[in-house]
């Protein structure tokens, strides 16, 4: 089922996105070739924060919640962890189905900070960052969670362009995959927990 969806997406990509390649590369050139090179190191740190933070946050929340018996910490950890798994599954399947070359391999004028042999589309760093940001924003819908979370995720996405690692469309689709995966896992978790509590209702005995 997932492979059929990805193949359909590839067809749509070839018919509608490919003609916009000039816009894609021109926007990347504007960002990458006119960047402040003194910020390369900073954006590299931001890029490298995506995977460790996205994996560490669910584990920390789940672990502290388990130790303390706090359901309000366990649930966000489970949602964020499952969202990361779904995000990477969809992202990697798409990446190797589309098999798009990195921009600096196709366009030698693009200045890449590092070298990566994996396909370009979509951006995994962006997808996991937006997955994590969306998961915790849904679990804690407060401005002081949402604003920092999405600021960080957006910075990760921008860093991939600044460093010449991805096309803008790679970053955009990565953000969509991460956000969508987190939303699906959040809704699915609520549905499963709702079914569970209907089958095993919490006893109110002794609460009065």
pLDDT at 152: 97
Q: Does the pLDDT value for residue 148 go beyond 70?
A: yes
pLDDT at 134: 97
Which of the residue ranges 4-18, 118-132, 186-200 would you say has the lowest mean pLDDT?
4-18
Which of the residue ranges 17-21, 58-62, 75-79, 186-190 would you say has the lowest mean pLDDT?
17-21
* Nearest partner of 82 among 62, 102, 63, judged by Cα: 62
Is residue 179 within 8 Å of residue 134, measured between CB atoms? yes
pLDDT at 69: 81
Q: Does the pLDDT value for residue 30 go beyond 70?
A: yes
Q: Per residue in 52-87, pLDDT tens?
A: 999 999 999 999 988 888 888 888 899 999 999 999
Domain boundaries, the chain: 49-113+122-199
Annotate the chain with DSSP letters as a single string: -HHHHHHHHHHHIIIIIGGGHHHHHHHHHHHHTTS-GGGHHHHHHHHHHHHHHHHHHHHHHHHHHHHHT-HHHHHHHHHHHHHHHHHHHHHHHHHHHH-PPPHHHH-TTS--SS---S--SS-HHHHHHHHHHHHHHHHS--HHHHHHHHHHHHHHHHHHHHTT-S-HHHHHHHHHHHHHHHHHHHHHHHHHHHHHHHHSPPP-TT--
Q: Does the pLDDT value for residue 195 go beyond 80?
A: no
Q: How confident is the model at residue 21 (pLDDT cuts 50, 70, 90)?
A: confident
Mean pLDDT of 14-25: 69
Query: C-alpha 43: how far from its chain's center?
Result: 17
């Amino acid at each position: 089922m997932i492979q059929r969806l990805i193949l359909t997406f590839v067809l749509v990509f070839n018919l509608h996105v490919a003609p916009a390649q000039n816009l894609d590369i021109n926007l990347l050139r504007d960002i990458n070739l006119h960047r402040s090179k003194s910020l390369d190191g900073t954006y590299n740190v931001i890029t490298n924060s995506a995977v460790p933070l996205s994996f560490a946050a669910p584990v920390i929340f789940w672990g502290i919640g388990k130790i303390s018996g706090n359901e309000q910490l366990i649930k966000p950890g489970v949602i964020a962890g499952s969202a990361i798994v779904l995000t990477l599954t969809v992202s990697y399947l798409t990446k190797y189905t589309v098999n798009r070359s990195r921009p600096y391999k196709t366009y030698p004028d693009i200045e890449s900070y590092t070298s990566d042999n994996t396909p370009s589309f979509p951006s995994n760093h962006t997808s996991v960052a937006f997955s994590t940001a969306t998961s915790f924003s849904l679990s804690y819908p407060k401005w002081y969670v949402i604003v920092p979370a999405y600021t960080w995720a957006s910075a990760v996405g921008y860093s991939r362009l600044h460093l010449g690692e991805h096309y803008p469309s790679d970053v955009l689709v990565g953000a969509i995959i991460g956000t969508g995966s987190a939303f699906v896992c959040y809704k699915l978790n609520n549905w499963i927990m709702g079914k569970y509590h209907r089958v095993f209702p919490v006893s109110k005995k002794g609460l009065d």
